[in-house]
Chain A
Amino acid sequence: MRRHQLAQMLIIGAIASAGGIAVALAIDWFPKVGSTQARDVDTLFDVLLIVSVPIFVLVQSIVLFCVWKFRMRPGEELKDGPPIHGNTMLEVIWTTIPALLLVGLCAYAYVVLGDIEEREPNTMVVNVTGEQFAWTFQYPGENGGKPVRSDQLYLPANRPVEFKVRSKDVIHDFWVPEFRMKIDAVPGITTEYRITTTGDVRNYPVVCAELCGLGHATMRQTAHVLAPSEFETWMARKRKEAETTT
């Protein structure tokens, strides 16, 4: 009888898990992929989904199964369950398996973290400065030339970029959802992160993600990812502007 019940529940659970995983993977969770980092992060999230769904389904099916099979029937008002106080074997199993699983996930996440923060050659530096309630972007000048300033973020496609992030007043957070990376802009220190843009030529929102005051919700700009040649044209024009204005 008991074995039969357990088997019944496991079959229901396995079917539900498979269905759950299929649904979870079918859902489009993320914004568009705007950086090579985004692919690694999205894959990690998919793996987490595949691990999470069976655990979630396991708990739900046990609860629902118990409610279905073991609920009090009329006439059982004074009946008690069997006095089972524990089972060391089971307790060892449900301590060690989750522990191993979690350590495994941490190891994988550690590898992904290394990948997405790797330094690439030929990295372009952009200085990002946050203030209430706007970002400014500054491109260091080449060979002693004047730096270029812009109110909107322009980036070349297929290029590693490093953002050096600063703040003039309170804490902000520099985030382009499509890049999957963000970092706080902290008064007094310089923070940084790196991304490599994909080949897609698109516009993305630049979002302030850390509450920074009454204009926080409106602290939005645009990141323009341009084809490398177009980016060079834009940069040349901006450099000329910078040279002519003192």
Chain B
Amino acid sequence: MTAALRAPGLPRAFLGGALGVALAYALVLPIRALYGLEPLLDGEAVCIVALISAPFGFLFGLGAFDYWFYWAAGRPTRPEDHSGHGAKTWRDYFRVNTDHKVIGIQYTVTSFFFLLVGGALAMLMRAELAQPGMQFVSTDAFNGLFSVHASILIFLFIIPVFAGLANYVLPLMIGAPDMAFPRLNALSYWLLPLGGTMMMASFLVPGGSFATGWTAYAPLSTDAPLGQLFFTIGVQFAGASSVATALNFLVTIITMRAPGMSFWRMPLLVWANFSTSLLVVIATPFVAASQFFILLDRALGFNFFVPDRGGDVLMYQHVFWFYSHPAVYIMMLPGFGIISEIISVKARKPIFGYRMMAFSLLAIVVLGFTVWAHHMFVSGMQEWIRVPMMITTAIIAVPTGIKIFSWLATLWRGVLHMDTAMLFALGFLTMFVLGGISGVVLAMIPVTIHVSDTYFIVAHIHYVLFGGSLFTIFAGIYYWFPKMTGRMYDERLGKVHFWMTFVGFNLTFGPMHIIGLKGMPRRVADYAEQFAGWNLFISIASFMVGLSTLVFVYNMVSSWRGGPRAEANPWRALTLEWQVSSPPPVFNFDRIPTVVGGPYEYGVPGAVHGVFDRPGEKPGEVSPAPAGGVATAPRKE
């Protein structure tokens, strides 16, 4: 027993968490005694400190910091023997593991768990909204449902699942043995379940879960019950995870590309994650700041948002949206990368306008920082800023349009393999256009003044994040499933999943445009009688989306357990991840690949992207790549 508590792992992690709670008591009680605060034992104060100390205790116990502690203490660090690499049993997924492939699966599976949680919350909401009046939950509980739904799906599903997919395939795509900082990578993963658990646990605290929306506008959030802090602090963990992974991606992409892989030979998924990571490292600190303001106001009586004391309520929204608008691109650009891979491979054609595809990603990164105040057209901010923000918001549709048209041109005269991944990619193309168009409509200030805070916004955001991001995520999961698991999924069930999702999605979110324009505000537990018909319709349709997810889960679980073995390259793709076995060897490449051409040369006779024997060297004479060694810098050729 003591041995288990001394070795890094889950038992020690829970002990660490308990010690963290004890530390919270040990800190709060003496401080309150010194200040003479009554009552001495204040559950809320202890809880706030424990929300920070317990997760750290958990991480220490888990062993996420062991190597650095040994190093900092001057004790001999264990030589990097990569014993933490690879997973032999399912238990290895519950340990700190430095293998990017294990971490990728940890990330992806955890995120999908949160998708199911967030989806279940949506089902509860739709059940309540099926009829006017209150049936199942109280208004406060309802506010909690949509707040936790949005927070979990944004911070614990869409953002991390892209990081998870990229974690798995990106090092393989650029010919690297791992990510640049494997231990940091492991830490970034383990921050996630902590943030997610916190948000879910908020339902259990007195006063209920946080109920101020995922936007947590002050001063509503600074006056809210304790549950609010589970969001405030949970976001810090999810955000820290996001920033650490983004740094890791940037360094990996810049320094660890295989010889010959210049920036202009990188697959577009790599470009997309490069752009996304730039957005994350620049923008995410702002959401952290906005939540620290709330924490300080709420817990320590600061006056950032108290107008009588010189506070400024609108400041919260500016800081929040300065992150949260770029965040929608953080949730979209990796999807653009996935779609580029799939459309090119499944249409058997080179991607149309490769360089413009890369440049448009960078253009979105830059423009993404210039549009945040379009979320605030009715907020009461200074009026003149609205017009420049309207123009930048409209203009950001240009690089997005370039991408859409280039995908369409890639399809033209191709040989389209209409399997599940391709169906989701085309579903994305058709649905995202609608989200983009309603985005341009929303850029127009007079329209936004009428429809902001209505169901039109709910429709728009779901066409972008569900029809957009989630469709690309499904496409990516089906596309890389053989690589990640070594098994093939059931194509028939995949198609059933697609059509149920596609139809259910449109029936659910399409009518929301109409009721929004007609005047139904968002975030309401009850609504006027005139909206009853559409709401019942939407609720029924949404249950169809819920059912389709069960088909997906069944397909994934059963195929992973007993699907037919996958070949190394079932899609005949050129990119490097498909040139190794499925699943790949522990250190990815037994020989370091050399990149000799572009990633999408389909239809070019004899074209290859990477070779495993360097030009000029005879096959077989190349010594195996040093396992886990530092990748060589790209050679100039």
Contacts and interface: CB of A to CB of B under 8 A. Distances in A.
Interface of A: 2, 27, 29-31, 40-41, 44-45, 48, 52, 55-56, 59-60, 62-63, 66-67, 70-72, 76, 78-87, 90-91, 94-95, 98-99, 102-103, 105-106, 109-110, 112-113, 116-117, 165, 169-171, 173, 175, 177-178, 180-184, 186-189, 191, 205, 207-218, 220
27 contacts: A29-B517, A48-B441, A52-B440, A56-B437, A59-B433, A66-B414, A70-B413, A71-B416, A76-B415, A81-B347, A91-B356, A94-B402, A105-B394, A106-B390, A109-B443, A110-B390, A177-B450, A178-B519, A180-B450, A181-B450, A184-B380, A187-B313, A188-B307, A210-B217, A213-B143, A213-B220, A214-B211
B401 A207 contact: no
B352 A214 contact: no
B212 interface: yes
B15 interface: no
A26 to B, nearest CB: 13
B454 interface: yes
Contacts of B212: 211
B445 A109 contact: yes
A62 B412 CA distance: 8
Top 6 closest A-B pairs, CB basis? A188-B307, A177-B519, A191-B380, A81-B349, A83-B603, A81-B414
A210 B453 contact: yes
Given A56-B437, A66-B414, A182 B453 contact: yes
A41 B353 contact: no
B416 A66 contact: yes
Contacts of B416: 66-67, 70-72
A7 to B, nearest CB: 14
B443 to A, nearest CB: 8
Contact of A214 (B140, B413, B414): B140
Interface stretch (B117-125, B153-161, B494-502, B522-530): B522-530
Contacts of A102: 394-395, 397-398, 440
A84 B445 CA distance: 41
Nearest to A191: B380
A182 B445 CA distance: 12
A171 B305 CA distance: 11
Given A106-B443, A183-B378, 16 more contacts: A41-B449, A48-B440, A55-B437, A62-B408, A70-B412, A80-B349, A95-B402, A116-B446, A171-B219, A188-B307, A188-B311, A209-B521, A211-B220, A211-B523, A214-B139, A217-B527
A52 B417 CA distance: 30
Contacts of A180: 446, 449-450
B348 interface: yes
A181 B446 CA distance: 8
Contact of A205 (B217, B412, B528, B607): B528
B514 interface: yes
Given A70-B412, A207-B519, A182 B217 contact: no
Interface in B435-476: 437, 440-441, 443-447, 449-450, 452-454
A53 to B, nearest CB: 9
Given A186-B314, A205-B519, A217-B524, A103 B413 contact: no
Interface string B123-166: 00000000000000011101100000000000000000000000
A177 B531 CA distance: 14
Nearest to A69: B413
B491 to A, nearest CB: 14
Nearest to A79: B415
Given A81-B414, A99-B395, A177-B518, A112 B219 contact: no
Contacts of B405: 90, 94
Nearest to A109: B444
Given A70-B415, A83-B601, A217-B524, A209 B453 contact: yes
A213 B437 CA distance: 32
B77 interface: no
Contacts of B314: 186, 189
Contacts of B401: 94-95, 98
Nearest to B142: A217
Contacts of B519: 31, 177-178, 205, 207
Contacts of B313: 171, 186-189
A52 B441 contact: yes
Given A80-B415, A211-B523, A218 B139 contact: yes
Contacts of B397: 98, 102
B429 interface: yes
B628 interface: no
Contact of A56 (B348, B434, B454): B434
| A30, A72, A99, A178 interface centre (most CB from chain B within 10 Å) | A72
Contacts of A76: 415
Q: Which of A29, A102, A211 has the most C-beta atoms of chain B within 10 angstroms of its own C-beta?
A: A211
B139 to A, nearest CB: 5
B354 interface: yes
A227 B13 CA distance: 72
Contacts of A90: 405, 409
A206 to B, nearest CB: 11
Interface in B514-564: 514, 517-519, 521, 523-528
Contact of A169 (B219, B527, B601): B219
Contacts of A217: 139, 142, 524-527
A166 to B, nearest CB: 10
B220 A170 contact: yes
B352 A84 contact: yes
Contacts of A207: 519, 521
B391 A103 contact: yes
Contact of B447 (A41, A78, A86, A189): A41
A62 B219 CA distance: 48
B27 interface: no
Nearest to A6: B412
B44 interface: no
Nearest to A107: B391
B223 interface: yes
B418 interface: yes
A70 B518 contact: no
Nearest to B405: A94
B433 A81 contact: no
Contacts of B440: 48, 52, 102, 105
A30 B513 CA distance: 11
B233 interface: no
Contact of A83 (B406, B525, B604): B604
Contacts of B411: 62-63, 66, 70
Contact of A106 (B394, B434, B452): B394
Contacts of B415: 70-72, 76, 79-81
B379 interface: yes
A113 B446 contact: yes
Interface string B301-315: 000000110011110
Contacts of A81: 347-349, 413-415, 602-603
Contact of B523 (A31, A86, A216, A220): A216
Contact of B378 (A103, A184, A208): A184
Contacts of A116: 446, 449
Given A80-B349, A94-B402, A173 B453 contact: yes
Contacts of B311: 188
Contacts of B380: 165, 183-184, 186, 189, 191
B349 A86 contact: no
B632 interface: no
A95 B350 CA distance: 20
Contacts of A171: 217, 219-220, 313
Nearest to A47: B444
Interface in B309-363: 311-314, 347-350, 352-356
